Structure 1
């Protein structure tokens, strides 16, 4: 099994255990691949939701640039809803899982079609 496949399995387990949902494995795989090499770096594989700069980066680079959403209060609300659902106190919020949840929250699965 490749390192990426191991990570996808870990992310799927996180979705099941911490969010209580059965992941769409095809979408999770595509989102994980879209994260590129960041998933292999201990610092960049997670999202520091307590740091406003990190949240701004997710908003600008993922929600606006990747998903093509328009900036506005709905983006902040969606981002906060996803972080709450994942567990604000959970110290390991994997980037691929956050991006997967945001993709589903905003109904932008077609970006990975």
Structure 2
């Protein structure tokens, strides 16, 4: 089982155990952080595969290492804002993170090529 699936399985197990009992603010904060990390990783993976590039090529474009890209895609880390800016530029996309409405969403939308 890969890391992302393990985290998702862990989150589901926690949710099943907490069903009907209400969650503490700490548990909800952790759940939100996990969800954001997973959504970001999935968005990066989806965009990278649509572009047909490897993790190594993306890492070179973003001035990162391949293990850093892997950790982001597997939701093992939450990158800093400057790193997110480099990553979205390397993917030729605009990174959008909506935190309103209680359900955060992460999208990478292709940008127009620059001349």
TM-score (norm: length of structure 2) = 0.30
Q: Which has the higher contact order (CA 8 A, sep 6+)?
A: 1
Higher strand share: 2
Higher helix share: 1
